[in-house]
Every structure is written in structure tokens, then in C-alpha cells.
Amino acid sequence: SVDIVGVGLDYRTKQKLSDLVIDVDKNWNAKSISNMTQISVGDILFANGWRLTETENGIALVDDKEQIIRRWTNV
């Protein structure tokens, strides 16, 4: 199970990836979102407490104790 954690201005929400709803601006006259190539969701939190998070020059897999398990950097 994958959870999505979103951080707002003064609150934090958590929901399952399968519950994600994407609003499409009606002015686009979009029939579908099949051409979507990127979505910004913030950190991705896994059921075991680990998460994928953005770092200064890439992303990292971090455990529930904030220790970096693996890091991927931009070249």
C-alpha cells in the first residue's frame, strides 16, 4: 500500500494513492488526462514508515528514523 502525504499551508493530509483525484481545468476542454506526464505530490510515504523525499540535488529513500537508506542525485 502506498500513501500520499500532502502538506498544505497549515495542515497535513494523508490518503491512499488509489483515492487520488485529479481536477482538470474545464477551460482545457480535456476529455481525459492520458497526456499527463508529471504530477507533484510531495513526499511518498510507505506503510512501513519509509518515504521518498526530495533532497537538494535529487531524491532519497528515508527510513522511519530519518536515516537515508538510498540516495539518487541529478547529474
pTM: predicted TM-score of the whole model, two decimal places: 0.46
Which residues lie below 8 Å from residue 49, measured CB to CB, with a gap of 6+? 63, 64
pLDDT in tens, 10-44: 444 555 555 555 554 445 555 555 555 666 667 78
Domain definitions of the chain by residue range? 2-25+39-73
pLDDT, position 20: 57
Own/partner pairs for 20-26, CB < 8 Å, 24+ apart? none
What proportion of the chain, given as a percentage, has pLDDT over 70? 45
Average the pLDDT over 46-56 and give the result. Answer: 86
